[in-house]
């Protein structure tokens, strides 16, 4: 294991990896850079990479014209609300499956997963119809419930895999030490489960934030989150690159930052614990 | 006080009977070891005493009071787990304090007991660390510390040393024994290692498939094993068990002779064979002898350094007064 | 440990999640099934009665059906091929010792966190636009005629966008799998005289087989229902109308609910075929 690798080899690895990494990241970088250009510089020929007159004007225009704050608030409320609601419903379910497993636990878990596989388009109209009948179309509450439901299986699964890693002997030790069920949950289980719950919240917030089927199809103006905000730039406004970039940057910046924190949990959450 | 009685205790997992009706009394202050091969039900039995496992039928009595339906927290017993089961999010101090905190003990008294336990277990310098920062042996000490501070009526140990390396295991074994001498509290200790059982116990309970094969002091078990199973299980290297014609000569189905009860000679003896592997330990020499015509390989333990090499012919003389005889059911013939 | 009281408590605690998901699955599914057998046109008279299997046959025999299946298969297949082969290369690369590994990792993963509408629009306008997109400049720089990507090479363009979004996912999972490979195994093979290529072919690749299968299955399920990328780029034109998009158009654009629902049932069946394989793997892992 501890074999010294020549610095040449390491330098080569570094050069290749950074080149590829920057290439993959380039569209994001380019978008962020363009958001600080004037419209004229944004389409300059040849393209200007760094040496342009940095301006915040686009952000001001986007905010003024399309009321970014409202979309942002919708995104936060819908993604945050659906995640919180989902976790509140999932914690007891995952807890009981992890600590009081029965011979049906596995079937229930797999069945929950199967609901995640349901193609959204297959149930688009029924949901649309239900939303119209219940007056939920273009409402935050309706979207919150839908996003909670589509992410609930992932939330249950993630929590279940985290809870299962808490060794049963520790809970037994607490019982031997004289802890009541309340003490056990309060002083032993909860502190040990908090990291798992936090990761679950984080990843599902991201998934809900980026969800773009239901948010596009069930909202119009009032409850539209950032996904719809960007879609409204489709054309012809999309040709104003600097403003499109500013809008895009504002839509992805919060989640990029959160996403970098969650990269470790990503694998577990999206593979249902099948790859660790 | 810590007298523990099991009365007609049984346990079923589904349709599988893990423990058939079983009676056992553990006297106050006794160091009792449950020993047996893995899957023999020894851990289940311990967990039933702890209250972590329900009884299918029967009764567990602690100090002559029925405790069958008492939750583990109320039984006044302390347990040390195989995995140590320390609370990873608490410091060593908080781990040890946890049972006291649960008992709502006065903080000053809590501190006094924690300091005393830490001093006794050499943990004083580590009280503010997390379990993750400790070595295996230190974690083990913390687990013991957490058990001691409660001053329980009995300690339960579930294979506590099996995750430690060999040298540490010997040291901890000694410490637990010394702790028992000092506290004079009932201890029940589960292990699959018969050496631990022999060295630590006042009383050994040998279990196989949920059935008690024999209860007795280490030397009783060594000298008068009740059946073939106990004979083969207790003692290291294992007792040689010989069946067939040689056993018939002694009016038995099976005869047993321990490796240390066979004398070796280059010239004459009752049996003869060829030396296979010779293990020189310095203090003793173990020979594995083939082609004796007695069936299996025979193991011999000769004191000191005895020079036979692989392939040499060797003559063996069993000390007949140390021979164990068993009948067709495997029971000892007196 | 598991006493009777705790069992019934456990059932009670599971109930909300189970009931919600049961409702979420059954109610819309039943409705879709029902509509699929109805002649239901909300804008032209509403529910016009029983249609039998008409919608099912009409959906398959419509001129748009087979092209949409073809487009779906090409997109899913190509994206899988690209993300997995590049993902393996990247995963191995990222596993090598280098300076700034953490930063490179972050750079590579970033596209996964970009919302689909943003990545589709950025690629469409700022890279693939035939007049002022970055690709147009690049082509002109090399003296070539700029390509009108999304109309002339529409499928490859969509594939590029979607692959860019999913490459991080494949890379991350394959990297996790590579890191779990026992280094002693590789050292043993090295001692046995296996050159690097053989070590990759006979040890690393088989070790990755499971992770690759999982990536294939999970990505397939998500890729079968990509929507926003097509919605904001071509709107289903230029041969990019996937099965999902076709159903979406039947339901919401032409408001032919019966026909769309029949398509939806086909999509559900298709997704379930993939899902069964995925569940087997996940289920097996649950026992371990």
The count of domains in chain A is 1
B87 CB neighbours in chain A (<8 A) are 170, 173-174, 188, 192
Residue C38's φ and ψ, nearest 5 degrees, are -110, 155
Q: Quote the crossing angle between the two packed helices A190-210 and A140-164, to the nearest 10°.
A: 140
Q: Is residue A246 part of a domain?
A: no
User: How far apart are the C-alpha atoms of A150 and B307, rounded to whole Å?
Assistant: 77
Is B53 in CB contact (< 8 Å) with chain C? yes
Same domain, B258 and B313: yes
Tokens for B88?
């990873």
Whose CA is closest to B103, among A189, A187, A178, A183?
Answer: A178
Contact (CB<8Å) C285/A168: no
Q: Is residue A25 part of a domain?
A: no
pLDDT of residue A238: 62
Alpha helical stretches, state H, chain A: 7-34, 39-42, 57-66, 68-99, 105-116, 124-133, 140-164, 168-176, 181-183, 190-210, 214-217, 226-231, 241-270
Q: What is the pLDDT of residues A189-220, one digit of tens each?
A: 888 888 888 888 888 888 888 888 888 888 87
B54 CB neighbours in chain C (<8 A) are 3
Chain B nearest-CA residue for A193: B89
A191 CB neighbours in chain B (<8 A) are 89
Q: Is residue B333 part of a domain?
A: no
Q: Is residue A198 part of a domain?
A: yes
Chain A nearest-CA residue for C249: A121
- Strand B186-191 relative to strand B203-208, pairing: unpaired
Per-residue pLDDT of chain B (334 residues; tens, 9 = 90+): 789 999 999 998 888 888 899 899 999 999 999 999 988 889 999 999 998 888 899 999 999 999 988 888 888 899 999 988 899 889 999 999 999 998 889 999 999 999 999 998 889 999 999 998 998 889 999 999 999 998 899 999 999 998 888 888 898 899 999 999 999 999 999 999 999 999 999 999 999 988 999 999 999 999 999 999 999 999 888 999 998 888 888 888 999 999 999 999 888 888 989 999 888 888 999 999 998 888 788 999 998 888 888 888 999 999 989 999 999 988 998 7
Contact (CB<8Å) A175/B52: yes
Chain B nearest-CA residue for A175: B73
The count of domains in chain B is 2
The pTM assigned to this predicted structure is 0.79
- Cβ contact B146:B91 at 8 Å: no
Q: Is residue B275 part of a domain?
A: yes
- Cβ contact A247:A238 at 8 Å: no
Residue among B78, B87, B99 minimizing CB distance to A170: B87
Which chains would you list as touching A if contact means 3+ CB atom pairs under 8 Å? B, C
Is A185 in CB contact (< 8 Å) with chain B? no
Same domain, B165 and B291: no
Contact (CB<8Å) B53/C1: yes
Q: Is residue A254 part of a domain?
A: no
Chain B nearest-CA residue for C4: B54
Contact (CB<8Å) B85/A191: no
- B14, B51, B54: best to mutate for the C interface, most C CBs within 10 A: B54
* CB contacts < 8 A (A, B): 61
User: How far apart are the C-alpha atoms of A154 and C45, rounded to whole Å?
Assistant: 41
Chain B nearest-CA distance from A180, in A, is 7
Over range C147-166, report the average pLDDT. Answer: 87
Same domain, B180 and B303: no
C7 CB neighbours in chain B (<8 A) are none
Domain with residue A151: its CATH number is 1.10.3720.10
The CA-based dihedral angle spanning residues C261, C265, C266, C267, taken in that order and rounded to the nearest 10 degrees:
90
Q: Is residue A75 part of a domain?
A: yes
Block residue for tokens 């490859």? C156
Q: Write the DSSP symbol of residue A194.
A: H
Chain B nearest-CA residue for A181: B73
Instruction: Give the torsion sign (CA, A239, A240, A241, A246).
Output: negative
Is B85 in CB contact (< 8 Å) with chain A? yes
Chain B nearest-CA residue for C3: B54
For chain A, the average pLDDT equals 84
pLDDT of residue C131: 78
Q: Is residue A93 part of a domain?
A: yes
List CB contacts of A171: < 8 A, sequence separation 6 or more: A99, A184, A188, A189
Same domain, B283 and B194: no
Contact (CB<8Å) B102/A173: no
Range of the domain at A155: 66-232
Instruction: Return the SS3 of B332.
Output: strand
Chain C nearest-CA residue for A252: C114
Tokens for C266?
């086909």
Exposed, middle or buried, A106 (CB in 10 Å: 0-12/13-18/19+)? Answer: middle
pLDDT of residue C288: 53
Domain with residue B292: its CATH number is 2.40.50.140
Which chains would you list as touching C if contact means 3+ CB atom pairs under 8 Å? A, B
Which chains would you list as touching B if contact means 3+ CB atom pairs under 8 Å? A, C
Chain B nearest-CA distance from A96, in A, is 18
Chain-centroid distance of CA C72 in Å reads 10
List CB contacts of A253: < 8 A, sequence separation 6 or more: none
CATH of domain C64-287: 1.10.3720.10
Range of the domain at B101: 4-228
pLDDT of residue C84: 93
Residue among A167, A169, A177 minimizing CB distance to B146: A177
Same domain, B151 and B247: no
Is B89 in CB contact (< 8 Å) with chain A? yes
B52 CB neighbours in chain C (<8 A) are 1
Q: Is residue B332 part of a domain?
A: no
User: How far apart are the C-alpha atoms of C222 and C170, rounded to whole Å?
Assistant: 13
Q: Is residue B210 part of a domain?
A: yes
Q: Is residue B100 part of a domain?
A: yes
**What ipTM was predicted for this assembly?**
0.83
Contact (CB<8Å) A191/B89: yes
Over range C182-200, report the average pLDDT. Answer: 80
User: How far apart are the C-alpha atoms of C27 and B131, rounded to whole Å?
Assistant: 50
* pLDDT confidence bin for A1, thresholds 50/70/90: very low
Residue with the bigger pLDDT between C153 and B197: it is B197
Same domain, B133 and B207: yes
Instruction: Choose one of B177, B207, B228: the last residue of a domain.
Output: B228
pLDDT of residue C214: 81
Over range C161-189, report the average pLDDT. Answer: 86
Asked if residue A2 has pLDDT above 60, the reply is: no
Is B86 in CB contact (< 8 Å) with chain A? yes
Tokens for A29?
């970088």
């Amino acid at each position: 294991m501890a074999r010294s690798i020549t610095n040449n080899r390491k330098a080569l690895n570094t050069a290749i990896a950074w080149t590829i990494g920057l290439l993959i990241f380039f569209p994001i970088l380019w978008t962020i850079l363009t958001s600080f250009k004037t419209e004229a510089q944004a389409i300059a020929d040849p393209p200007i990479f760094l040496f342009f007159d940095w301006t915040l004007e686009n952000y001001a225009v986007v905010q003024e014209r399309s009321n970014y704050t409202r979309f942002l608030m919708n995104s936060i409320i819908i993604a945050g609300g659906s995640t919180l609601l989902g976790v509140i419903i999932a914690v007891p379910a995952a807890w009981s499956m992890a600590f009081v497993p029965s011979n049906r636990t596995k079937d229930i878990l797999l069945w929950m997963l199967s609901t995640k596989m349901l193609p959204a388009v297959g149930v688009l109209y029924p949901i649309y119809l239900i939303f119209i009948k219940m007056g939920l179309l273009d409402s935050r509450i309706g979207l919150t419930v839908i996003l909670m439901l589509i992410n609930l299986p992932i939330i249950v699964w993630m929590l279940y895999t985290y809870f299962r890693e808490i060794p049963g002997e520790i809970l037994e030790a607490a019982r031997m030490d004289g802890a009541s069920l309340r003490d056990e949950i309060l002083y032993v289980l909860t502190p040990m489960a908090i990291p798992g719950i936090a990761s679950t919240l984080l990843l599902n917030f991201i998934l809900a934030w980026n969800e773009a089927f239901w948010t596009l199809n069930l909202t119009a103006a009032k409850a539209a989150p950032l996904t719809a905000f960007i879609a409204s730039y489709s054309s012809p406004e999309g040709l104003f690159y600097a403003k499109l970039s500013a809008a895009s940057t504002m839509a992805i910046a919060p989640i990029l930052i959160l996403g970098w924190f969650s990269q470790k949990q990503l694998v577990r959450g999206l593979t249902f614990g099948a790859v660790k | 006080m810590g007298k523990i009685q099991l009365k007609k205790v049984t346990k079923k997992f589904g349709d599988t009977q893990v423990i058939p009706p079983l009676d056992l009394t553990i006297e106050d202050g006794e160091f009792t070891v449950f020993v047996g091969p893995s899957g023999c039900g020894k851990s289940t039995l311990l967990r039933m005493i702890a209250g972590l496992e329900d009884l299918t039928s029967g009764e567990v009595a602690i100090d002559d009071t029925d405790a069958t339906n008492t939750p583990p927290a109320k039984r006044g017993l302390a347990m040390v787990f195989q995995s140590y089961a320390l609370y990873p999010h608490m410091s060593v101090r908080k781990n040890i304090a946890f049972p006291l905190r649960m008992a709502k003990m006065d903080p000053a008294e809590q501190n006094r007991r924690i300091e005393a336990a830490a001093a006794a277990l050499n943990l004083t310098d580590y009280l503010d660390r997390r379990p993750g920062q400790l070595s295996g042996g230190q974690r083990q000490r913390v687990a013991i510390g957490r058990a001691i501070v409660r001053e329980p009526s009995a300690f339960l140990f579930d294979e506590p040393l099996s995750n430690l390396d060999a040298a540490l295991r010997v040291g901890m074994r000694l410490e637990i024994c010394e702790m028992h001498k000092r506290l004079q509290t009932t201890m029940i200790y589960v292990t699959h290692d018969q050496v631990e059982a022999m060295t630590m116990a006042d009383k050994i309970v040998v279990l196989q498939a949920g059935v008690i094969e024999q209860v007795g002091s280490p030397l009783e078990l060594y000298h008068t094993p009740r059946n073939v199973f106990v004979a083969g299980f207790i003692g290291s290297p294992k007792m040689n068990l010989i069946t067939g014609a040689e056993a018939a000569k002694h009016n038995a189905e099976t005869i047993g002779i321990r490796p240390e009860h066979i004398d070796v000679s280059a010239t004459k003896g009752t049996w003869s064979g060829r030396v296979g592997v010779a293990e020189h330990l310095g203090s003793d020499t173990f020979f594995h002898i083939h082609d004796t015509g007695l069936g299996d390989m025979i193991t011999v333990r000769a004191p000191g350094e005895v020079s036979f090499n692989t392939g040499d012919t060797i003559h063996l003389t069993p000390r007949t007064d140390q021979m164990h005889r068993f009948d067709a059911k495997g029971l000892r013939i007196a | 440990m598991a006493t009777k009281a705790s069992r019934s408590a456990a059932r009670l605690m599971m109930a909300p999640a189970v009931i919600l998901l049961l409702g979420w699955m059954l109610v819309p599914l039943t409705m879709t099934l029902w509509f699929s057998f109805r002649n239901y046109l909300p804008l032209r008279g509403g529910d016009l009665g029983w249609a039998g299997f008409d919608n099912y046959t009409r959906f398959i025999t419509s001129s748009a059906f087979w092209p949409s299946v073809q487009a779906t298969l090409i997109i899913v297949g190509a994206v899988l091929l690209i993300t997995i082969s590049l993902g393996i290369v990247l995963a191995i690369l990222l596993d090598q010792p280098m300076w700034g590994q953490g930063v490179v990792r972050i750079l590579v993963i970033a596209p996964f966190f970009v919302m689909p509408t943003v990545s589709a629009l950025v690629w469409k306008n700022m890279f693939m636009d035939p007049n002022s997109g970055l690709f147009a400049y690049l082509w002109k720089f090399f003296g070539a005629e700029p390509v009108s990507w999304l109309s002339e090479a529409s499928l490859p363009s969509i594939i590029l966008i979607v692959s860019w979004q999913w490459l991080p996912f494949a890379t991350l999972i394959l990297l996790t799998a590579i890191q779990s490979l026992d280094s002693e195994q590789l050292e043993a093979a090295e001692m046995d005289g296996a050159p690097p290529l053989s070590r990759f072919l006979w040890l690393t690749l088989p070790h990755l087989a499971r992770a690759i299968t999982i990536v294939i299955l999970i990505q397939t399920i998500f890729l079968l229902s990509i929507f926003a990328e097509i919605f904001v780029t071509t709107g289903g034109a230029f041969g990019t109308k996937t099965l999902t998009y076709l159903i979406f158009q039947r339901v919401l654009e032409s408001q032919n609910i019966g026909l769309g629902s029949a398509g939806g049932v086909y999509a559900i069946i298709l997704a379930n075929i993939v899902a069964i394989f995925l569940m087997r793997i996940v289920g097996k892992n649950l026992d371990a």
